Amino acid sequence: AWIFILLLPGLSDGGKLLVMPMDGSHWLSMEPVVKKLTQRGHEVVVLIPEVSWQMKKTTAYEVKMYPVPYTLEDLNNSFYEYVAAHLKELPFPLNTLALYNSSVHVFHLLFSQCKSLFSSKETLQYLNQSNFDAILTDPIFMCGATVANYFSLPFVFFMRGFPCNLHYDIPQCPSPLSYIPRLFTFNSDHMTFLQRVENALIYLLEPVYCNGFYEDAIKFSSKVLQRDVSLVDLLNSASIWLLRFDFVFEYVRPVMPNMVFIGGINCAQRKPLSK
């Protein structure tokens, strides 16, 4: 119930919301929403690492920082490696392996934020005593979901998508392999027979490489929550999925009632056309 109270304007007193964003362009998408929530009377606290590209302290909302073990140079180098892998023109499956290796490196570096957060007694004490009503998080590196499960808080995902099609698989939305291409195949929805075979092989391999992406997150979350958890355990209790793309530009498929498409939310506000 608190989730809908936070998202609906003018129906109640403001709630207290913890925001756990992702850096870079992800944050540029989320920040306007955070500012709007603050303007509507909600008490918003943004929890960020001390080392960041885009996320800084501001007077527009409250910011809480925690220490991390890497430098800005480390962050830049991992991103340069990630971009370079995407620019290489390699044949399949070499292109897939190059993208996978660079992605794993970035994932491991950025998930160290979460380990640092849970190592900070001051931060954990602050979160425990703050009595937040809910968490708004970009879940790409899982820390927001881990914190939400740790403190038994409802949580909302604000995101573009997961690797391995998790944003459709975990809510159990159908994704027929015959016309919905998987990540890294670079196919369209009009596939030849061999491309469909390739699509099926990628689908079979997805659990392997997705667990590689999130190996650190799964192990650490299991340790923190003191039980064995999987990706499904961490993600399937999200109250709402706010998806930053438009349904009409995606491959047609059924979606769940708690999946809300908000494509266009980041478009610049233009002057209305004259009558």
d(CA 159, CA 87): 24
Q: For the chain, which domains are there?
A: 2-261 (3.40.50.2000)
Which strand (E) or helix (H) includes residue 6?
Answer: helix 2-7
Helix-helix angle 215-225:143-150, to 10 degrees: 10
d(CA 124, CA 67): 13
Strands 240-243 and 134-137, sheet pairing: unpaired
Strand partners, 159: 243
Pair of tokens at residue 99: 């993208």
In the prediction, which pLDDT does 120 show? 95
In the prediction, which pLDDT does 7 show? 55
Q: What is the dihedral of CA 176, 161, 225, 64, to 10 degrees?
A: -170
The model carries a pTM of 0.87
Tens of pLDDT along the chain (275 residues) come to: 445 555 555 545 678 999 999 998 889 889 999 999 999 999 999 999 999 998 999 999 999 999 999 999 998 998 898 888 888 888 877 877 888 788 888 888 888 999 999 999 999 999 999 999 999 999 988 999 999 999 999 999 999 888 788 888 888 888 888 888 887 677 888 899 999 998 898 888 888 878 878 888 999 999 999 999 998 889 988 999 999 988 888 888 888 999 999 887 777 666 777 87
Vertex 248 angle, CA 244 and 249, to 5°: 70
Which residues neighbour 93 within 8 Å (Cβ) at sequence distance 6 or greater? none
d(CA 219, CA 230): 9
CB 49 within 8 A of CB 109: no
In the prediction, which pLDDT does 9 show? 53
d(CA 158, CA 209): 23
Place of tokens 């499956």: 93
Q: Would the CA dihedral through 187, 248, 139, 65 be positive or negative? A: positive
Which residues neighbour 179 within 8 Å (Cβ) at sequence distance 6 or greater? 189, 190, 191, 251
Place of tokens 């999130």: 214
Place of tokens 């119930």: 1
DSSP state for residue 252 in the 8-state scheme: P
Vertex 119 angle, CA 127 and 228, to 5°: 90
CA atoms in the 13 A half-sphere facing the CB of 250: 19
d(CA 157, CA 145): 9
Which residues neighbour 149 within 8 Å (Cβ) at sequence distance 6 or greater? 221, 225, 229, 234, 237
